[in-house]
């Protein structure tokens, strides 16, 4: 059996653990297996840059962050455009697959990478995928690997801010990654005891944010901590068309949304605000135990799909059961936080402000 493997898009903590799960299962159950590890994601597949792997390559990597294969961003929207030398990228990838006589390509990636995987499936390649991203925004799975590890790091950042905030009596903002989804901010915000959580799915009205800060002051609380998603949106911004929003952000004087919010809080509440952006630390370091288990389960499941020739699917998890999700269902869909989800209601019931009207609760 000849298998190609690649990691695509932004990295996360549990990519190696997942590849190990796939490889160990194959080596354990298939007599003759050769794995070709493509370097730097789809780029390696396009240009035939790979390493012939052996079982030793997958030993000792369960706890290692990053990816032993390297990764790169190859945006889906550019996949149908020729490369700098005028070559058709899809044909290049198909060419490598055919030349190496692969039986299947295993792709570990997030949203954009799944669109490309689905395109390769449509082009006739056998593809099996695994859901990677700290954003947890991949459709078809309750959980993506990397997410819980990132929650740990973002929570730790909020925990650290808590002690200094308590000493100084200031307003603090911790800006959390997550792209256009609020999962990471929501979970780290609740776990870290943030007083205000702002996520893209619930556009905030700065008036309610300031009210929540003032309310805490009146209660004698010396500090307020906001967990703000990098993709958080004000009600005004949420009402803009895509074009208007792009235009506004082009001439923006702030480096990120937290700075705009801090500026408004300083103006309206006269409060000193400090901003912490943990940034890419949220994707770094070792995978947490939850992710190691999830990666092992998903990896074993993906190998099972390959052995049964159930191609064209992503291994996911729903209600703690491993499931197989058709790629055409995953590609192009985003899983975002439902503002009416019980977790939001529960968070609101303990007094967490989401920047929306508290009367409507």
**Of these residues, 32, 88, 135, 340, which one is catalytic?**
135
User: d(Cα 237, Cα 245) in Å, to the nearest integer?
Assistant: 7
Out of 37, 44, 66, 178, point to the residue binding ligand F6P (CB under 6 A).
178
Residues whose CB is less than 8 angstroms from the CB of residue 128 and which lie 6 or more positions away in sequence, other chains included: 104, 105, 106, 107, 302, 305, 306, 310, 311, 312, 313, 314, 315
What count of other Cβ atoms lies within 10 Å of the Cβ of residue 77? Answer: 8
Instruction: Find the part of the chain contacting ligand F6P (CB under 6 A) among 117-125, 173-181, 255-263, 339-347.
Output: 173-181
Least CB distance from residue 60 to ligand F6P, whole Å? 26
Residue 57 or residue 336: which is nearer to ligand F6P going by CB?
336
Out of 40, 135, 260, 356, point to the residue binding ligand F6P (CB under 6 A).
135
Q: Which DSSP state fits 255?
A: S
Report the candidate in 39, 40, 277, 244 with the shortest Cα–Cα distance to residue 172.
Answer: 277
**Two tokens, residue 256:** 């990120």
112 binds ligand F6P (CB under 6 A): no
Residue 37 or residue 182: which is nearer to ligand F6P going by CB?
182
Out of 10, 182, 203, 312, point to the residue binding ligand F6P (CB under 6 A).
10
Residue 115 or residue 179: which is nearer to ligand F6P going by CB?
179
Residues whose CB is less than 8 angstroms from the CB of residue 59 and which lie 6 or more positions away in sequence, other chains included: 20
**Two tokens, residue 304:** 């099972």
179 binds ligand F6P (CB under 6 A): yes
Residues whose CB is less than 8 angstroms from the CB of residue 144 and which lie 6 or more positions away in sequence, other chains included: 110, 131, 132, 133, 134, 135, 136, 137, 138
Least CB distance from residue 33 to ligand F6P, whole Å? 31
> What residues are paired with 172 via a beta bridge?
225, 274
CA distances from 147 to 2, 124, 306 (A): 30, 31, 25
* Total number of residues that touch ligand F6P (CB under 6 A): 11
* DSSP output for 101-165: T-SEEEEEE-HHHHHHHHHHHHTT--EEEEEB-TT--BTT-S--BTHHHHHHHHHHHHHHHHHHH
Residue 121 or residue 179: which is nearer to ligand F6P going by CB?
179
Residues whose CB is less than 8 angstroms from the CB of residue 337 and which lie 6 or more positions away in sequence, other chains included: 181, 182, 183, 186, 199, 201, 202, 344
177 binds ligand F6P (CB under 6 A): yes
182 binds ligand F6P (CB under 6 A): no
Least CB distance from residue 321 to ligand F6P, whole Å? 26
137 annotated active-site: no
283 binds ligand F6P (CB under 6 A): yes
40 binds ligand F6P (CB under 6 A): no
Least CB distance from residue 165 to ligand F6P, whole Å? 24
Out of 4, 110, 131, 192, point to the residue binding ligand F6P (CB under 6 A).
110
Which stretch of DSSP H or E encloses residue 325? strand 321-326
What count of other Cβ atoms lies within 10 Å of the Cβ of residue 100? Answer: 19
The binding track of 298-337 with respect to ligand F6P, each residue x by CB under 6 A or -, is ----------------------------------------
355 binds ligand F6P (CB under 6 A): no
Q: Tell me which residue has its CB nearest to ligand F6P.
A: 177
Least CB distance from residue 178 to ligand F6P, whole Å? 5
Residues that bind ligand F6P (CB under 6 A): 10, 73, 110, 133-135, 177-179, 230, 283
The residues carrying an active-site annotation are 135
């Amino acid at each position: 059996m000849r298998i190609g493997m690649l990691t695509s898009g932004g990295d996360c903590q549990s990519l190696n653990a997942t590849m190990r799960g796939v490889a160990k299962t194959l080596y354990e159950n298939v007599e003759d297996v050769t794995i070709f590890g493509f370097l730097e994601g789809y780029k390696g597949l396009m240009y035939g840059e790979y390493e012939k792997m052996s079982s030793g390559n997958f030993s000792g990597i369960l706890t290692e962050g990053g990816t032993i294969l390297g990764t790169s961003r190859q945006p889906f929207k550019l996949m149908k455009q020729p490369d700098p030398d005028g070559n058709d990228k899809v044909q290049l990838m198909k060419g490598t697959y055919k030349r190496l006589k692969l039986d299947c390509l295993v792709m570990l990636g997030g949203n954009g990478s799944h669109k490309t995987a689905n395109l390769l499936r449509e082009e006739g390649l056998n593809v099996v995928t695994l859901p990677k991203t700290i954003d947890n925004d991949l459709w078809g799975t309750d959980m993506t690997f990397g997410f819980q590890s990132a929650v740990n790091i973002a929570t730790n950042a909020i925990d650290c801010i808590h002690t200094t905030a308590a000493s100084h009596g200031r307003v603090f903002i911790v800006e959390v990654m997550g792209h256009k989804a609020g999962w990471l901010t929501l979970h780290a915000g609740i776990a870290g005891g943030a007083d205000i959580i702002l996520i893209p799915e619930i556009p905030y009205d700065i008036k309610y944010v300031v009210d929540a800060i003032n309310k805490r002051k009146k209660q004698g609380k010396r500090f307020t901590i906001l967990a703000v998603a990098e993709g958080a949106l004000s009600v005004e911004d949420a009402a803009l068309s895509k074009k208007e929003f792009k235009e506004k952000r082009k001439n923006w004087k702030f480096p990120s949304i937290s700075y705009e919010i801090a500026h408004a809080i300083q103006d309206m509440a006269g409060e000193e605000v400090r901003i912490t952006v943990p940034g890419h630390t949220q994707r770094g370091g070792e995978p947490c135990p939850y992710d190691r288990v999830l990666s092992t389960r998903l990896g074993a499941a993906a190998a099972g799909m390959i052995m049964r020739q159930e191609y064209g699917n992503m291994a996911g998890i729903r209600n703690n059961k491993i499931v197989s999700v058709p790629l055409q269902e995953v590609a192009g869909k985003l899983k975002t936080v439902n503002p009416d989800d019980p977790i939001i209601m529960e968070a609101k019931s303990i007094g967490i402000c989401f920047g929306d009207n508290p009367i409507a609760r």
